[in-house]
Amino acid sequence: MLLSLVSRAGSVWSVGLEPGTPTLPPADSPYWLPPLGTPLEVSGPYRPPPTPYASGHRGIDLPAAPGELVHAPVGGVVSFVGQVADRHVLSVRVDSRTVVSFEPIEQADAALTEGAQVLPRQPLGIVAEGGHCLDECLHLGVRVDDEYVNPLRYFLGKPVLLPW
């Protein structure tokens, strides 16, 4: 089965829901690419907290094992590389309002320091151990104007069902 996604610009591409090689969105797509390959799989959904200081899940978890390569889903500028608590974190500022962060991640290239330019599909690092899902996932969070938002809005378009 294929799910067709329609971009805001009206271009259409298909993503396989069964094992196989899906078609990637075009380079000019407003949507981001899956950082671990395709299709995008989510093992832990976004669950916003009821208040800013309450517990919640401020991002999504992507199933991954330590050592898996992580690619930039979108271009931007590295805004943070380092440890937060017990986990390696890398953040990329996409634009003046939007930041995407990955954890746990060990950078693949020592040149990825704060201020370094990142291109879509560029290797960012490898999944490390640690974090809230131990050695089972890569956590991806997105902040817009310093508020966490559901990252899936950047990866998925409006589904369109195709005839059989």
Tell me what the mean pLDDT of segment 105-114 comes to. 83
DSSP code of residue 27: T
Q: In this predicted model, what pLDDT tens digit does every residue of 5-35 receive, in sequence order?
A: 333 333 333 333 344 444 555 656 678 999 9
Nearest of 138, 155, 164 to residue 13 by alpha carbon: 155
Three-state SS sequence of 92-130: EECCCCEEEEEECEEECCCCCCCCCEECCCCEEEEECCC
**What domains lie within the chain, and their CATH numbers?**
33-155 (2.70.70.10)
Do 77 and 93 meet the contact criterion of CB atoms below 8 Å apart? yes
Residues 6+ positions from 61 with CB-CB distance below 8 Å: 42, 43, 44, 133, 136, 137, 138, 139, 140
Look up the pTM and report it. Answer: 0.78
Buried/exposed code over 134-158 (b: 16+ C-beta within 10 A; e: otherwise): eebbbbbbbbeeeebbebeebbebe
Do 8 and 30 meet the contact criterion of CB atoms below 8 Å apart? yes
Q: What is the pLDDT of residue 4?
A: 36
Number of helices and strands in the chain (H, E)? 1, 13
Q: In this predicted model, what pLDDT tens digit does every residue of 30-89 receive, in sequence order?
A: 789 999 987 889 999 999 999 888 999 999 999 999 999 999 999 999 999 998 888 899
Q: In this predicted model, what pLDDT tens digit does every residue of 114-160 receive, in sequence order?
A: 999 999 999 999 999 988 877 789 999 999 999 999 999 998 665 55
Q: What is the pLDDT of residue 21?
A: 40
